[in-house]
Structure 1
Amino acid sequence: METLEGLEAVRKRPAMYIGGNGSEGLMHLVWEIVDNAVDEAAAGFGKKVDVTLR
């Protein structure tokens, strides 16, 4: 049995946390970030959400 510290587990097995390590996982990650930003703005911690993809 191996114990991983901090973010080691995420780095070693990203699919376990974001649903995949391909394009589906990337899109899930992007939507999660946007969703969290919208929730924060709706709670009064901001007035707008800007998203820039490069």
Structure 2
Amino acid sequence: MLTCPCHLPVLFIVLAGTTAGAFLCAHWGIVAVALITVFSVSVVLTWRAVRPEDS
């Protein structure tokens, strides 16, 4: 759930004032693409684990 792209604004707020927050703000496009990729892979792997007969 943490890698869900819709939680990116929440990460900005939670990490505000930290080095990680500064990195997120400076490179938000790269971070968004990375989070979308990680989230998509995790959804696909979860779907395959839950429904192995459909793979």
Fold-level similarity (TM above 0.5): no
Greater relative CO (CA pairs within 8 A, separation 6+): 2
The TM-score normalised by the length of structure 2 is 0.44
Q: Which has the larger helix fraction?
A: 2
The TM-score normalised by the length of structure 1 is 0.45
